[in-house]
């Protein structure tokens, strides 16, 4: 008798109970033939006991409570290790502020089975930008260090697309890939870990794809707004870490000049952003990575 495969969906909750409940509700209708789909929710030390509510409403969901905020990377790595120990064949990292369609996971499985060298794949993400609905279809890594998302206004005629990276809000991969590529890099803590992971997979010969038949809705900004000082700090510092890790000497030089100009522009546009920009550069130059230290986090919030 053929063994039933296992797909683990890993969701991180951090003071986001309302979004997480909506996400879990949408997952109830998801089924994949010949696979057992399990959902693992990891709470990143929310202020309230949100896992109790989740467990009460969704009995089949596996829950894990962290005593401290491990960030996107640390919490997902915890979930990945747990899933692998329980025999996961495939894993999906899914943001808690997403809502899925019933067939999205079936489409991802079909795609990864029928396309050679696929290492990481993601669904198309429907999101709202400046009052209109658009589609995120992966991302591009520019020679000067910028890593913008690819956004289109309509899906008509859009075919499966090979990209530089996919968003970690819906990152699907296999046990085989994880065992070769490894876990997410904890040096980032929050942001750029998905881009880093895709680059490491590509270096091993894997391809990164977007499947237009799989669509989910992504709220975006569930944990930190784009203009939050802490978000600016992590984006800039982690961009610098990424460039240093993957770019050659010429690309690094160009990228560093570009990131200096971007930093000056941020500070010029809003003097209140001087602090996160300064500390991002300071921590990068002094080789401080991972979670921002608590005293600095307080300063950035003040």
- The last residue of a domain, from among 218, 243, 271: 218
DSSP for 84-141?
Answer: HHTT-SEEEEEETTEEE-TTHHHHHHHHHHHSTTEEEEEEEEEEEETTEEEEEEEE--
- Report the alpha-carbon distance of residue 300 to residue 302 in Å, rounded: 6
Count CB atoms within 10 A of the CB of residue 270.
13
User: What pLDDT is attached to residue 2?
Assistant: 62
- The last residue of a domain, from among 193, 218, 243: 218
Predicted confidence (pLDDT) at residue 1 exceeds the cutoff of 60 = no
**The domain that contains 83 carries what CATH number?**
3.90.550.10
- Report the alpha-carbon distance of residue 239 to residue 145 in Å, rounded: 7
Same domain, 139 and 27: yes
Is 103 inside any structural domain? yes
Same domain, 57 and 83: yes
Is 223 inside any structural domain? no
Q: Please give the tally of structural domains in the chain.
A: 2
Structural contact between residues 217 and 124, judged by C-beta atoms closer than 8 angstroms: no
Is 37 inside any structural domain? yes
- Report the alpha-carbon distance of residue 184 to residue 234 in Å, rounded: 16
DSSP classification of residue 165: B
**Domain residue limits at 30:** 5-218
Structural contact between residues 38 and 118, judged by C-beta atoms closer than 8 angstroms: no
Tell me the whole-structure pTM to 2 decimals: 0.93
Same domain, 99 and 152: yes
Is 275 inside any structural domain? yes
Which residues face 294 on adjacent strands?
Answer: none
Q: Which residues contact 192 (CB under 8 A, 6 or more apart)?
A: 147, 235, 238, 239, 241, 242
Same domain, 241 and 134: no
**277-296: b (≥16 Cβ within 10 Å) or e:** bebbbebbeeeebbbbeeeb
Is 160 inside any structural domain? yes
Which runs of consecutive H residues, i.e. helices, occur in 140-273? 175-181, 193-203, 229-246, 249-269
pLDDT digits (tens, 9 = 90+) for 49-100: 999 999 999 999 999 999 999 999 999 999 999 999 999 999 999 999 999 9
pLDDT digits (tens, 9 = 90+) for 232-281: 999 999 999 999 999 999 999 999 999 999 999 999 988 889 999 999 99
User: What pLDDT is attached to residue 240?
Assistant: 97
Same domain, 93 and 201: yes
User: What pLDDT is attached to residue 197?
Assistant: 98
């Amino acid at each position: 008798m053929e063994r039933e495969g296992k797909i683990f969906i890993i969701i991180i909750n951090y003071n986001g109970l309302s979004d997480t409940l909506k996400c879990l509700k949408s997952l109830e209708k998801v089924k994949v033939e010949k696979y057992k789909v399990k959902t693992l929710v990891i709470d990143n030390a929310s202020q309230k006991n949100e896992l109790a509510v989740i467990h009460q409403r969704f009995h089949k969901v596996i829950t894990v409570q962290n005593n401290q905020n491990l960030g996107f990377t640390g919490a997902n790595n915890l979930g990945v290790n747990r899933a692998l120990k329980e025999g996961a064949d495939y894993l999906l990292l899914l943001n808690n502020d997403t809502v899925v369609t019933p067939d999205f996971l079936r489409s991802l499985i079909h795609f990864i089975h029928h396309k050679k060298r696929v290492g990481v794949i993601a669904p198309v993400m429907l999101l709202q930008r400046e009052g209109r609905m658009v589609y995120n279809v992966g991302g591009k890594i520019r020679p000067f260090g910028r890593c913008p998302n690819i956004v289109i206004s309509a899906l008509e005629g859009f075919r499966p697309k090979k990209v530089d990276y996919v968003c970690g809000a819906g990152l699907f991969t296999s046990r085989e890939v994880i065992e070769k590529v490894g876990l997410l890099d904890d040096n980032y803590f929050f942001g750029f870990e998905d881009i880093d992971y895709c680059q490491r997979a590509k270096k091993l010969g894997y391809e990164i794809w977007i499947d237009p038949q799989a669509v989910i809705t992504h709220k975006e900004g569930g944990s930190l707004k784009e203009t939050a000082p802490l978000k600016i700090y992590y984006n800039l510092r982690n961009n610098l870490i990424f460039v240093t890790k993957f770019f050659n000497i010429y690309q690094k030089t160009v990228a560093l000049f570009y990131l200096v100009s971007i930093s000056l522009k941020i500070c010029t546009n809003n003097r209140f952003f001087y602090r996160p920009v300064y500390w991002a550069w300071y921590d990068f130059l002094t080789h401080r990575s991972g979670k921002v230290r608590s005293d600095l986090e307080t300063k950035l919030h003040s």
